[in-house]
Structure 1
Amino acid sequence: MASFRKRSNGWEYRIRYIDRRTGKYREKSKSGFRTKKEAELAAAAEELRIEEHGFAENGNELIANYLEKWLETYKRPAVKLNTYLVQERNVRLNIIPRWGNYRLKDLTRAEYQRWINELRERYSEGTVRRIHSIFASAISDAIHEFGILRDNPLQKIKIARDEHEDAGKIKFFTVDELSRFLAACVPVKHAKYQHSRMHQALFTLLARTGLRIGEALALTWDDIDLIKGTVSVTKTLIYPLNTDPRVTTPKTRSSIRTIKLDPETIRAMKEYRVNQKETILRYGFQRSDLNLVFHGPDGKWLRINVVREYMYEVCKRAGLPRLSPHALRHSHAVHLLEAGATIRYVAERLGHASIKTTEKYLHVTKKIEKDALDLYARYLS
């Protein structure tokens, strides 16, 4: 409850409230307002902040308490489930064990930098950057959103880069490599389900549409119009902490899109639809109640890690670089740009939230640079 009084430097409000962490009464005041009305408005806003945030002031909050409330109240409702689970797991397993008993105001840049250096001895650059990003975001909110810290000691932290030359580079198949890979995506001799062409169809669709693996595995036949030659992306399959699968909305709003299929992909999907029915009858597979495009013998969703391992096996068998299904998305983007597609078209086709995400592909192939220089030379001649 706020009280007000007029002082020599203007109107003052004083708020008395219970600190949720300690259960004790505390007071907060501020003066210098020209009118009582201004003081009342400021007090109302401050009371709302206290009620809404529930954080101890002046950085006295234990980092463990702050992060738990930050995750539950401000991250869980705001991000995709998979994103939240990654953040929660990193906080629980990496940040809290080291910093949980510290108060927010006890964080120092020097000690934190030493911890980051220690992490780099155990984890990859990408993993450490992910952990740091989560913690830095939480501390930034403590300053700019909640006003319980003034400075951010987690700024300008240096993270050692991976020594390997190709670390962090976009991995993709060349056109020739992709052709060899897709040709090898058939069951080997004496394989259990020799007749099935499911994996070949799946990888063909990924490589020629740029779909994310979760988007492809969530597809039903209702999403694919083989007459119009389109596929509608409205959902994605996730495995929260590698447990039971769940279908949810795509990664971003721009990920909801309709993709035009090229004639070769239409032909491949038509053939696969017939092959799927034949495979179900031949091996006694369970039909999918959800009318899934890709499913296992039990009629349920394929597991992403199983698809990944299958792709690794094919790469090894074909003598190709060991790439993951996501590399097929990269391959599609690179091949489109090499073929002369505009970067905006590629961004829309892949469902990128920002064209800046797509621009990274411009730097991974020499063909684009060569073609651009050839065009420039012809223009000047």
Structure 2
Amino acid sequence: MNVAEHCQHDRAPALTVAERREWLAQLEQDPKAVAKDLPDLTRFMLATGVRIGEALALYWEDVDLDAGTVAIRYNVVRIKGAGLKRKLPKTESGVRTLPLPSWAVEMLRNRFAVAKAEHRAGANPVFPDTLGGLRDPSNTRRALREARGSEGFAWVTSHVFRKTAGTVLDEAKRSAREIADQLGHAKPSMTQDVYMGRGTVSPENAAALEDIL
């Protein structure tokens, strides 16, 4: 990513409440988007603020439905000659346990019931590809671009969901440190520069994200 692209990436606006609802409604009405599992993936990213590679690296063994948390420990990357793999994040701050809003827990609970019935629970992706394996982040970004539909959403990327979560937390008066922990940033200054918008994150973050939709 060059400097110009980086600056544009950082300045991408967050989705408003009306836009979040309209975006999800648009996805739900698009058979291709539904077939590519984009509605629930969008919901999960809005609920957590995780990177798209982190969302796609999530396995059912990383989900605690009783506690209402997910352990973010890996990122999906494509390795030349080896295909898609789960890799540890570059910094310790990328490993974190995130509390979930109640609606996200319910969404995952419904998905788990299906996964269990299809014998895809345990060490299997929560958001798999059509064959049940790891999903390619690049292909998923492409699917999101194709799902934009109207020109009004031409600016929406997976990063926008992450920025939206950070912005909602900021508006809820969560501290820069708490938002940085949620997003997996080592330094709160990075969070303040880009989004305003370690370990186990404050449960109050989930409460702040409860009404994001």
Equivalent in 19, 22, 35 of residue 180 of structure 1: 22
SS in 2 for 1:239: strand
Q: Distance in 2 between matches of 1:309 and 1:197?
A: 11
SS in 2 for 1:184: helix
Q: Does 1:358 align with 2:197?
A: no
What letter matches 1:171 in structure 2? P
Q: Check the 8 A contact 1:181/1:318 in 2, yes or no.
A: no
Specify whether residues 300 and 290 from structure 1 end up closer, same or farther in structure 2 by C-alpha distance, changes over 3 A only: same
Q: Distance in 1 between matches of 2:47 and 2:185?
A: 16
What letter matches 1:330 in structure 2? K
Q: Check the 8 A contact 1:231/1:261 in 2, yes or no.
A: yes
Q: Does 1:343 align with 2:185?
A: no
Q: Distance in 2 between matches of 1:328 and 1:236?
A: 17
Q: Check the 8 A contact 1:237/1:248 in 2, yes or no.
A: yes
Q: Which runs of 5+ in 2 are unaligned?
A: 198-213
Equivalent in 165, 183, 187 of residue 332 of structure 1: 165
Q: Which residue of 2 aligns with 1:257?
A: 96
Q: Pick the structure with greater CA Rg.
A: 1
Q: Which runs of 5+ in 1 are unaligned?
A: 1-85, 87-123, 130-161, 281-285, 365-381
Q: Check the 8 A contact 1:235/1:247 in 2, yes or no.
A: yes
Equivalent in 199, 206, 221 of residue 45 of structure 2: 206
What is the aligned-residue RMSD (CA, Å)?
3.1
In the TM superposition, residue 242 of structure 1 has moved relative to its aligned partner by: 9.7
Q: Distance in 1 between matches of 2:81 and 2:53?
A: 13
Equivalent in 292, 296, 301 of residue 134 of structure 2: 301
Q: Which residue of 2 aligns with 1:248?
A: 87
Q: Distance in 2 between matches of 1:300 and 1:332?
A: 27
Q: Which residue of 2 aligns with 1:220?
A: 59
CA offsets, 1:120-160, max 9 Å, x none? Answer: xxxx5447x9xxxxxxxxxxxxxxxxxxxxxxxxxxxxxxx
The aligned runs of 1:144-293 (5 Å cut-off) are 169-186=11-28, 188-189=30-31, 191=32, 198-240=37-79, 244-276=83-115, 287=120, 290-293=123-126
Q: Which runs of 4+ in 1 moved over 3 A?
A: 124-127, 240-243, 274-278, 286-290, 361-364
Normalising by structure 2, we get a TM-score of 0.78
In the TM superposition, residue 324 of structure 1 has moved relative to its aligned partner by: 1.7
SS in 2 for 1:245: strand
Q: Distance in 2 between matches of 1:222 and 1:272?
A: 13
Q: Distance in 2 between matches of 1:179 and 1:241?
A: 38
Q: Check the 8 A contact 1:197/1:275 in 2, yes or no.
A: no
Identity rate of aligned residues, in percent?
Answer: 26
